[in-house]
Chain A
């Protein structure tokens, strides 16, 4: 079979008459997993969202010459069923001029937590994405491509909201969709590679609200009952985007330039209502928002990079970037207080006309000089930038306008002895003139080092260390943020599929910010976050016999910081039998164990094991 296939492919490749027989290759592996969970299954779903049942481990189909002109058709599928995601890829090459690529993915997300959103939050939704491209490569100097994508989020979210004096619960059925098409023309085999692209996107949101928790408040007891929660409106946006990029590459000069212009025009039409039965009786008080909103966001972006090899040992890189985006928004309509009872109803409307805007302009210029001498080198980069931000979120808020300058210097010393050894030592120091938000740093200092040693081709050892400090003055928020990390790893890749990897990564994050709030008197406080994470991972694989292979690994993540001390273990093993029988077999098992130091409410211990049956054709 293999030899026959070899001959046919060679004949086809060299342009000889092709046998009429279709060529077909592929593999399939279907699995079934059993799962046993102790403890908080919802928290396990938050983290991994795996279930018991069948799923497709992999499916690949490779067809060639099935029809005249069909050079290749490849289909890949995986996931679905008990897995929280599924994906498919289709690739078709037609007459070596046309290519079609279709990608599909679906990802399910579930979330609920007793400590989040008063314990009533429930997310159960999925994002499905179709992306596709059709390209024509029949021209010698250009390639034409048509892109399309369709992204949809559907499912439901249950959430608390501020109702009549307290938080009630509502549910929102999601119907959110983005549809986009675009075409691009890219030059080929020209001194300058140019891509011109025009896209058009249309977004819609038709989320439908309903009453949750039977109309009762999220916490506590309240005599008023949420009777109506409806959101019959629709938001939609039209977004044309134009892009241009050009790349020139030569032995001594690289130039990369890009430009983009995008306009997002939103139209929102709402008639949302939440109404309450007062004291559970026949009297009802409701709020109806009859509103039409619009927002116009315009974005313009350009960047340019020039990299010049002055001499073989000296390179200079100049970069500039500018981006401007501005949103102007308006709301017209009325908010109606509707009181009703057995004898009728009365509407008390209030004008809801409002305006808002957000504007942001960014600019940055940078120069970098890199010198190399033999295995050693040093790179120094200076950048200077500015940011202008302004916003007014409705008439009742003050307008904000802030300009923030920044500058920074960074240097990297490095040594590279080919693949045998490389090391880098880096230093960054950035300063900011003032603050748009009070948690932004005034200075950032970052030092880092990393080295990779390959004493032999099969063995690699690596070490890395990073130290980062952020602060700002006491008159702002007295920010003090410390990020430290280090890691060591070793990996061995031997013959016949033998491999082993051990890695330890540690992260420390300690952050303190002064706060000021009313409780109800003016009160000074501080927001603290303290995390000391260590992740130890090990993975290895070894062939036991000619057709038998064993792989196993695991990760232990432990946080001993004050904010949320926990331990999460993830272990798995797999035994594979391949090519020894008409079908391939694999046994797998995995274990997850989550332990939170403060209480057992979020702990779980989940075991999953299963079998995979597959084959190739």
Chain B
């Protein structure tokens, strides 16, 4: 389905790009001869804009860098004559992604073998960019829903009474997890070397003059559940004192636990994450 204007525009293009194409490649203008709307949508999308560097037009290799050489398909437009045509498996189609995104694949292979074992491919989470994506970077679903279809157990935990949720919507998994194996590149500011929690809870980054050692040694999950919990403050226990007493066996004898005043440790030891002034963590 081509528009007359599109064909006219194509005819006006200089032919300089063709000389640089490998044998068997036909170039984007040949593709646009039949797939003009697809090329148009692609050019306007994230991938198209990324390929068109420095104000240049969509490069000649734009389509074939993912779909492979198109010469045979141009002669005989059967789907079998092009890589990742309609109906192609995600695994086959994802091969095209790795042409440019080798680093992400390297991370996936090296550090997230679970994703690879289960046959997770690029297009299980991302779209190719031929049509508008529900979310960036070219995600197939919204950011909050991207991981849900496979990680239903974790998704269910966001439905607990206390959960990392904005109203009804769970937090985006990518806020804390690096899905490509922790090799997120490109300068993203991340909290490598300390809990992902402090990305938002910056007041708990520390350091503290008087620290509560589990925070440093065992991390936030020593006391909290990250996705959701039936208990306030995402705690692991409904009774805070039980949580404390599981570690603290040397409470002073003055702490009469039969008295209500001593049944909630944090009402005196308020600075449970650390204090700048009191080694007993009485106040911040």
Contacts and interface: CB of A to CB of B under 8 A. Distances in A.
A535 interface: yes
A452 B49 CA distance: 36
Contact of B249 (A354, A397, A516): A516
A406 interface: no
Contact of A437 (B105, B210, B217, B237): B217
Contacts, number: 422
B110 A96 contact: no
Interface string B218-241: 100010000000111100111110
Contact of B230 (A9, A15, A559): A559
Contacts of A395: 279
B242 interface: yes
Nearest to B165: A48
A437 B40 CA distance: 61
A537 interface: yes
Nearest to A199: B189
B189 A147 contact: yes
Given A358-B213, A529-B242, A564-B238, A113 B232 contact: yes
Interface string A225-266: 000000100010100000101011100001110101010101
B196 interface: no
B247 interface: yes
B246 A193 contact: no
Contacts of A69: 55
B267 A218 contact: yes
Interface residues of A, number: 182
* Main DSSP-derived SS at the A contact region: strand
Given A118-B264, A247-B106, A419 B152 contact: no
B206 to A, nearest CB: 7
A566 B206 CA distance: 36
A525 B91 CA distance: 56
A207 B136 CA distance: 37
Interface stretch (A300-308, A542-550, A579-587): A300-308
Interface in A183-239: 183-184, 186, 193, 195, 197, 199, 203, 205, 207, 218-219, 231, 235, 237
B3 A7 contact: yes
Given A161-B283, A356-B210, A379-B117, A48 B203 contact: no
B29 to A, nearest CB: 8
A535 B161 contact: no
Interface in A516-532: 516-521, 523, 525, 527-529, 531
A464 interface: yes
A69 B41 CA distance: 20
Given A147-B187, A167-B261, 13 more contacts: A13-B44, A97-B53, A113-B232, A249-B103, A260-B193, A268-B276, A329-B207, A377-B117, A389-B213, A439-B246, A513-B246, A517-B248, A517-B255
The 7 closest A-B pairs by CB, nearest first: A394-B279, A15-B57, A184-B187, A13-B43, A249-B106, A85-B166, A505-B156
